[in-house]
Amino acid sequence: MKTNIILYVSDQRASATFYEKVLLIPPVLDVPGMTEFKLNEETVLGLMPSAGIKSLLGDNLPDPDKARGIPRAEIYLHVTDPESYHSRAVLNGAKELSPLLDRDWGDEAAYSLDPDGHVLVFARKNFDK
C-alpha cells in the first residue's frame, strides 16, 4: 500500500523550502498546487496550498485556514539521527515543543511545530529499554 500524507500549507514555496532543508532531500514533484517528498518507497509527504484544497472541494470542506496553529495530527518520522533533524527544523523556523527525550513507548523523540503549525516528530527506537 502506498501512502500519501498531504499537509495543507499557507505558502507552498516556503513550506517546500522548509521541508527540503529539514529532510535533506529534494522534492520529487514541485508544481503549482503540490510539492511532494518521497520519504521511502511507500510514503510520500505532500504540501498543498490551503487555497488548492478549498478550490478542489469547495464549501463542503471546512476552511483549513481557520484551524491554522491548532494541531490536529502529527507527522512522526523514524530517522537515524533525530536530534539533527529536529535541530534543522528549529533552525529553519519550527517551534520546539520538546527536545529529544526517552519516551515511555521505547522511542527517543523530539517534537516541534512546523511553520504552518503541524506537529513534527523525529524519533528512533531506544534499544536500551
List per-residue pLDDT tens for the chain, 129 residues long.
999 999 999 999 999 999 999 999 999 999 999 999 999 999 999 999 998 888 888 888 888 888 777 888 899 999 999 999 999 999 999 999 999 999 999 999 999 999 999 999 999 998 665
The strand pair at 29-31 and 3-9 is best described as: unpaired
At 13 the pLDDT is 98
**CATH 3.30.465.10 is the classification of domain 68-129:** no
pLDDT at residue number 64: 83
Q: Is 44 left (phi over 0), alpha (psi -120 to 50) or beta?
A: beta
Structural domain spans, the chain = 1-60, 68-129
- Residue 122: count other Cβ atoms within 10 Å of its Cβ: 27
Lookup: cell for 38? 518521497
The CATH code of domain 1-60 reads 3.30.720.120
pLDDT of residue 67: 79
Q: CA 42 to CA 62: how far, in whole Å? A: 29
Q: Are 113 and 120 in contact (CB under 8 A)?
A: yes
CA 60 to chain centre: 25
Please give the pLDDT value at position 128: 61
Q: What is the pTM of this model?
A: 0.91
